[in-house]
């Protein structure tokens, strides 16, 4: 799964890398983005222009009676999203990218859980495969846009921490994934494989990340006893 992540990439760098043509979200460094918060999302409009917009993390299906269901929809399994009532329409017509600098995962160590931070070894931003939906509040009439992050089986490195990981798209696949005219889910599912182990670094971080109220640069710093591990078939994770 993916339950917390960071986005610290400068706006101008992100705009250039993602070929953004419109930005409606004021980016500031975020080190502990949590479910139900507003997050930055990239989507293509009808003219295929890429825009960065704010959405609530936790997809609220268009048929939902209230927004509380979104807290349980922060992730969607890529293997079955095209079949699930909550996600199948979005899988056809409302695909998006959710940019990140890295993400957190927790490993069970006896009776406690140790958080790890996962990022690319070259510090390049990540593009999570996401889905978005528009929901109209039946009581207040408000329209709320929300999103979910697709997940897949973990690669060999991340499997040592958790059995699921976010789908991290190759930049070569962004155009197809965001194409508003491509409504056949079978044409895009090939993009949803786990990213290779060798491009990631994984290391332990402080348990301060457990609280969404903490949001500062110290959260992504390795614990002092750690040596940063680079992805490989024979490298173990620090414990």
Domain boundaries, the chain: 5-210
SS3 assignment, position 53 = strand
pLDDT at res. 143: 94
Q: What is the 3-state secondary structure (H, E, C) of 131-194?
A: EEEEEECCCCCCEEEEEEEEEEECCCCHHHCCCEEECECCHHHHHHHHCCCCCCHHHHHHHCCC
pLDDT of residue 230: 47
The 10s digit of each residue's pLDDT in 37-75 is: 999 999 998 888 999 999 999 999 999 999 999 999 999
Q: Residue 92 has what DSSP assignment?
A: H
Q: Does domain 5-210 have CATH number 3.90.1680.10?
A: yes
pTM > 0.85 = yes
Per-residue pLDDT at 233 = 37
| Backbone torsions φ then ψ of 111, nearest 5 degrees | -95, 0
What is the Cα–Cα distance from 58 to 64, expressed in whole angstroms?
12
Active site residues: 2, 105
What gap in Å lies between CA 123 and CA 141, rounded to an integer? 42
% of the chain beyond a pLDDT of 70 = 94
The per-residue pLDDT for 227 is 44
Give CA torsion, residues 100, 131, 202, 115, to 10 deg: 100
Q: Which helix (H) or strand (E) holds 106?
A: strand 102-109
- Could you read off the pLDDT of 169-202 as tens digits, one per residue? 999 999 999 998 999 988 999 999 999 999 999 9
Q: What is the pLDDT of residue 5?
A: 98
Question: 96 near 43, Cβ under 8 Å?
Answer: yes
pLDDT at 33 over 80: yes
pLDDT band at 121 (very low <50, low <70, confident <90, very high): very high
Three-state SS at 90: helix
β pairing state of 200-204 and 112-120: antiparallel
Residue 213, pLDDT above cutoff 70: yes
């Amino acid at each position: 799964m993916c339950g917390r992540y960071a986005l610290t990439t400068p706006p101008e760098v992100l705009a250039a890398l993602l070929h953004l043509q419109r930005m409606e979200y004021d980016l500031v460094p975020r080190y502990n983005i949590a479910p139900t918060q507003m997050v930055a999302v990239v989507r293509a409009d009808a003219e295929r222009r890429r825009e960065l917009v704010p959405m609530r993390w936790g997809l609220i299906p268009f048929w939902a009676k209230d927004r509380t269901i979104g807290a349980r929809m922060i992730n969607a399994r890529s293997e079955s999203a095209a079949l699930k009532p909550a996600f199948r329409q979005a899988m056809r017509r409302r695909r998006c990218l959710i940019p990140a600098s890295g993400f957190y995962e927790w490993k069970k160590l006896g009776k406690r859980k140790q958080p790890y931070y996962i990022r690319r070894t070259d510090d390049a931003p990540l593009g999570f495969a996401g889905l978005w939906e528009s929901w109209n509040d039946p009581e207040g009439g408000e329209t709320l846009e929300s999103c979910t992050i697709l997940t897949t089986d973990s690669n060999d490195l991340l499997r040592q921490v958790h059995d699921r990981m976010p789908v991290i798209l190759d930049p070569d696949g962004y155009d197809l994934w965001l194409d508003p005219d491509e409504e056949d889910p079978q044409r895009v599912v090939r993009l949803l494989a786990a990213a290779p182990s060798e491009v990631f670094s994984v290391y332990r971080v402080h348990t301060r990340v457990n609280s969404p109220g903490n949001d500062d640069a110290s959260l992504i710093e390795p614990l002092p006893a750690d040596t940063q591990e680079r992805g490989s078939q024979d490298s173990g994770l620090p414990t």
